[in-house]
Amino acid sequence: MKPVSYKKDFLVRNIQKEFENFSDFLSQLKLPEGFDQYLLYVVSELFTNIEEHSEAGRAKIRMKINKNLFLVIEDTGIGIRRSYLKRKIFPKDDFSAIDFALSGLSAKDSSKRGFGLYSIQNLTRKLDGQLTIETGRAKIVIQKNKKEYQKIAPKKGTKITINAPIKKFAFYKYLEK
Amino acid sequence: MKIKFEKKYLISRNDAKILKEEIATSTEKIVILDFSNVIFCSRSFIDELISLIEELKQKKISVKLYGLNDSLQKLFKIVSHQRKEIQKEIIK
C-alpha cells in the first residue's frame, strides 16, 4: 500500500465535521475488509470520549498508514481521572483511572458499561497491535496480554496511540465478544 | 411520521437527543427513521437511539428503522445484545 498520512488539529466543537473529513479520507484508501470498520469504529469511540468527557477545547488526530497503522488522538482536556472524579467515581491515581476505563467502567454513569477504551483494547489485541494511553502522570502500554505501567511527566489531557498491522480483520465477530 | 437523517455520519449522542425533541412534538404512534443517507453510526449514537426507542415503546409509540446498510444492521444487533447482557449483569 502506498504510504499516506493524515494530520488535523481542530476545535472539539467541530468534532462531528472532523469525523466526516476523516471518514471521507478513509473511504479513498483501499484498506483490507474489516480493517476499515475497525479504524472508523476506533476514531468514532475516541472522538465521542473527547466530546463527552474531556472538556477540551482542542484535539488532534495524526495517522500514518503504510504496512502498519500508526494513529494518535489527543486532547488538552481534564484527563481520565478528573473525568471520573467529577462523576463521584474515585480512582486513586492516573494508573487506576486508565485501568477503570480499560475495564469498561463508564465515566458517565457507574451503572452502565463504558465500551470505548474497553472495546478498543480488545479489538487492538486481536489485531496483534499495541495500544498506549497517556493521561496525567501515567502511561500504560498494552500489547498482547502484557501491560506496562510507566510514570511520565504530568500531561494535560489524554493521548491515545495505536500501532497495528494492517490486515483483513473479522471486526464484527470480535466486537461482539 | 417519517424522519430522514441527512447526515452521512452519526457519531454524537446529541444526534439521538435532537431526534427525541423532534418526536416529542408529534402525536403519531408510528415513527419511521430513514437511514438511507447514513454510512456510519457510532456505538454511542446507537446506544442512545435504543434508549429512546425503549422510552417511546413505554409510551406506545413504535419506531421502525428503514434503510440501514449491512454494517449498521450488524452494529445495531451488537449494541442491542450488549445492552441486554449489561441488564442481566445488573439484575444479578
Q: What integer is the mean pLDDT of A140-156?
A: 95
Say what the ipTM of the complex is: 0.86
> How many Cβ contacts (< 8 angstroms) between chains A and B?
51
Q: What is the pTM of this model?
A: 0.92
Contact of A145 with chain B, judged by CB distance below 8 Å, is answered with: no
Residue corresponding to grid cell 487506576: A96
Q: Which residues of chain B have pLDDT under 50?
A: none
Contacts of A98 (CB under 8 A, 6+ apart): A80, A117, A133, A135, A138, A140
How far does CA A37 lie from the centroid of its chain?
A: 15
Cell of B21: 425533541
Contacts of B87 (CB under 8 A, 6+ apart): none
Q: How far is B37 from chain A (nearest CA, A)?
A: 13
B6: domain CATH number?
Answer: 3.30.750.24
Chain B residues closer than 8 Å to A45 by CB: 42-44
For the cut 70, the answer to whether the pLDDT of residue A152 exceeds it is yes
| B43, closest residue in chain A (CA to CA) | A45
Pairwise CA distance, residues A131 & A110, whole Å: 24
Q: What pLDDT was estimated at residue B86?
A: 63
Mean pLDDT of chain A: 93
Contact at 8 Å (CB) between A55 and A107?
no
Contact of B81 with chain A, judged by CB distance below 8 Å, is answered with: yes
The range of the structural domain enclosing residue B74 comes to 2-91
Pairwise CA distance, residues B66 & B34, whole Å: 5
Q: How far is B28 from chain A (nearest CA, A)?
A: 30
Pairwise CA distance, residues A10 & A30, whole Å: 26
- Please tell me the total count of domains within chain B: 1
Pairwise CA distance, residues A161 & A75, whole Å: 12
Among A70-84, A86-100, A139-153, B19-33, where is mean pLDDT lowest? B19-33
As a whole number of Å, the CA-based R_g of chain B is 13
